[in-house]
Amino acid sequence: MNSALPLVLAGPILRHCDQDNFTLWIVTSEPLNSLTLMLAERKISPLEGAQRQCFALGERAFQYLIHVNEPQLNKVGEAISYQLIDSQHGALFDHVEQLTYTPQHQPHFVVKTEIDQLLHGSCRNAHHHSGDALVAADTLLAQDTAPSARPALLMLSGDQVYVDDIAGPMLYAIGKTIELLGLRDEQFQQTALTHSKQISYHPAAMYQRHKKLLPRTEYPAATGLVRWYINHPIFTSSIAENHLTSLAEIIALYLLNWSPELWQQIDIPKQVNGLSKANTLRWQREWTHLLEFKAGLTQVRRLMAHLPTYMIFDDHDITDDWNLTAKWEQAAYGHPFSKRIIGNALIGYTLFQGLGNQPSRFAAEITPQLQQFLDKPDEAMHDQLIDNLLEFNHWHYTLDTSPKLVVLDTRTQRWRSESNLAKPSGLMDWEALMEFQQQLVGQDKVIIVSAAPIFGVKMIEAVQRTATFFGASLLVDAENWMAHPGTANTLLSIFQHRKTPQQFVILSGDVHYSFAYDIGIRFRSMSPKIYQITCSGIKNQFPEKLLPIFDKFNGWLYGHFSPLNFFTKRKRMSIRGRRPNGYRSQRLMNRSGIGLVKLDANGAPNQITVLHADMSQTDFKPPRTA
């Protein structure tokens, strides 16, 4: 481990940027002094009050959220350079390596009120064997020298980090980062460890948290066939051996996902002692994949320094199956240690993702309390902050673009099952869906961001429904919009309402494969046109041998002309699958990538593409007419 830390540890990352707003996220190793923001030729000095928010993450880690809000702050359609100048250290970004695109000497961005194209994706697992598609997105921007030709924004629709799926070498790096940055300790309740200081990051302690640390509870089995389901772990991920627990671990994970500089400070051994033979091989495999991930972080930073980036959580940002059933909620929030683990992940999401989407939504309730807690950590304040975040109901947001972009919170506004608390909850309750409908009033075209596909693969949904019948919804991640009758019927009614927009583009992720559907309403003239576009994952994939089987059976049983469709909740909807690269019998693409969607003036997609890490592309061709 090297001793000298660079001033800029992570970032810059552009967040909410439009005509009236400029939002920038960075983390530094020292507190900054008087700050000046240069936006093109405009000088804003000094940044004061809400314009510069500082969060003391640790002794040598300080997060800054720069947010300037003024009418007509940014010109539309022009390249706007930016620089942050500290009164002591000078221009902060001049010494950040490979931050700009040739021939520019400063990072810059373009505000687009009309979304003509955008990048979108989800599910970026650092140690997965697939390539990091964000690196390919950066290469795409580097190849096009005209800033006006860039996508309008980058939309990350969930699982930006995997709190519940941590590689052994990554956990080792997290321990070193906590030490290097002086990230703060905390106390635990009702667990084998009473303090985060007691956590060991020696390789011999890896891959054991699901057995020795994470809490368990009793779930009443739905049938006698699943008695083994009793005493199921609260944290249901099948690979939770290194599930993160403390806030310091969460902070370190985020920084390691975005910071090339931190990786330069850490040496992870490839050969380690104290592991079983199987886990030794696993460590070495994960070590190799993390080296590949680390090599692309400079490009990922450059991409996010030039494209306004928006985010929303899905389950792995917090933990697998987060709020999937009411029974899970009872167990998770009723245990002090599991509630603290979930709360720490939600604090991490707020700091590293949520605040930047639209800072004003957090200004009154969350930001002051978050700053106060980080300045002087206190256990009672820690618990109170978690309670407030769990009750917070403004995670969703909209962008006043054309088409209007509506980002849904499908995790904290659940419609709980009334017949059986162990059945999957609806992804949004009635009140949230009514608020969503109000966002659509008066719009002729709209882009909806839903972490899980609204219109998914029916064959996989049928398997999940069967598992739910036998009381095993948590085992198969039985989480889809059609799983809860109330949510499904209300949502479909919104799409069928005669005052809905004429163009819907739905962007989703979550599932670790990609597909695109063209959707209409049966037996209705002047039906709105709906496009379900799913791109997943950025660095993750579905089990390779299993997906082609689901794809084939889905085509046989639930193809466009199948009469079985009339026995589903979507019977009023006509769904046509697009063909990846024109393949006749294939509808699902199982390969990591980032989605690129281009829209025409009416808001309809005229290009749906997945860009893969090796710069190859999968184009989803429109379905043939019947």
For residue 509, the cross-strand partners are: none
547 domain-assigned: no
What number is the average pLDDT over the span 98-118?
94
- Which token pair is 536? 């997943």
Q: What span, in angstroms and rounded, lies between the C-alpha atoms of 363 and 400?
A: 20
pLDDT band, very low/low/confident/very high, at 369 (cuts 50, 70, 90): very high
79 domain-assigned: yes
420 and 340 in one domain? no
Q: What span, in angstroms and rounded, lies between the C-alpha atoms of 40 and 62?
A: 26
Q: What span, in angstroms and rounded, lies between the C-alpha atoms of 529 and 307?
A: 29
pLDDT at 483 > cutoff 70: no
Give the C-alpha distances (Å, rounded to integers) separating 92 from 6, 86, 263, 356. 11, 7, 20, 20
250 domain-assigned: yes
327 and 432 in one domain? no
Q: Specify the 3-state DSSP secondary structure of 357.
A: helix
User: Which of 45-49, 77-81, 325-329, 480-484 is predicted least confidently?
Assistant: 480-484
Residue type, 101: Y
Total of domains in the chain: 2
128 domain-assigned: no
What number is the average pLDDT over the span 330-350?
95
What number is the average pLDDT over the span 65-86?
96
363 and 276 in one domain? yes
546 domain-assigned: no
* Residue at which a domain ends, from 391, 411, 428: 391
400 and 373 in one domain? no
Asked if 124 contacts 160 with a C-beta cutoff of 8 angstroms, the reply is yes
User: Which of 6-20, 170-184, 215-229 is predicted least confidently?
Assistant: 215-229
- For residue 308, is the peptide bond before it cis, meaning its omega torsion is within 30 degrees of 0? no
pLDDT of 488 reads: 80
Asked if 511 contacts 478 with a C-beta cutoff of 8 angstroms, the reply is no
* CA angle (466, 512, 427) in 5-degree steps: 55
531 and 499 in one domain? yes
| pLDDT tens, residue by residue, 118-128 | 999 999 999 99
Provide, rounded to the nearest whole percent, the portion of the chain with pLDDT above 90: 69
299 and 412 in one domain? no
348 and 232 in one domain? yes
433 and 483 in one domain? yes
pLDDT band, very low/low/confident/very high, at 296 (cuts 50, 70, 90): very high
What number is the average pLDDT over the span 384-409?
97
pLDDT of 12 reads: 97
127 domain-assigned: no
pLDDT of 1 reads: 47
What number is the average pLDDT over the span 218-222?
50
pLDDT of 164 reads: 95
pLDDT of 577 reads: 86
- Which token pair is 286? 């994960």
407 and 358 in one domain? no
pLDDT of 190 reads: 87
- Token pair 């772990």 is at which residue? 233
431 and 290 in one domain? no
400 and 385 in one domain? no
| pLDDT tens, residue by residue, 420-429 | 787 888 889 9
pLDDT of 463 reads: 61
56 domain-assigned: yes
- Cβ-proximal residues to 152 (8 Å cutoff; 6+ apart), any chain: 112, 114, 115, 116, 117, 118, 308, 401
375 and 473 in one domain? no
pLDDT at 243 > cutoff 60: yes
Asked if 478 contacts 540 with a C-beta cutoff of 8 angstroms, the reply is no
Average pLDDT taken over every residue of the chain: 89
- Cβ-proximal residues to 412 (8 Å cutoff; 6+ apart), any chain: 323, 390, 392, 393, 395
Full residue range of the structural domain in which residue 334 is found: 1-106+162-307+315-391
| pLDDT tens, residue by residue, 5-62 | 999 999 999 999 999 999 999 999 999 999 999 999 999 999 999 999 999 999 999 9
Q: At what angle do helices 458-469 and 547-558 cross, to 10 degrees?
A: 100
Q: What span, in angstroms and rounded, lies between the C-alpha atoms of 621 and 11?
A: 37
pLDDT of 626 reads: 46
Name the residue among 253, 254, 208, 217 with its Cα closest to residue 235: 217
What number is the average pLDDT over the span 454-472?
62
Q: What span, in angstroms and rounded, lies between the C-alpha atoms of 353 and 52?
A: 17
| pLDDT tens, residue by residue, 527-568 | 789 999 999 889 999 888 887 786 676 665 656 666 665 656
136 domain-assigned: no
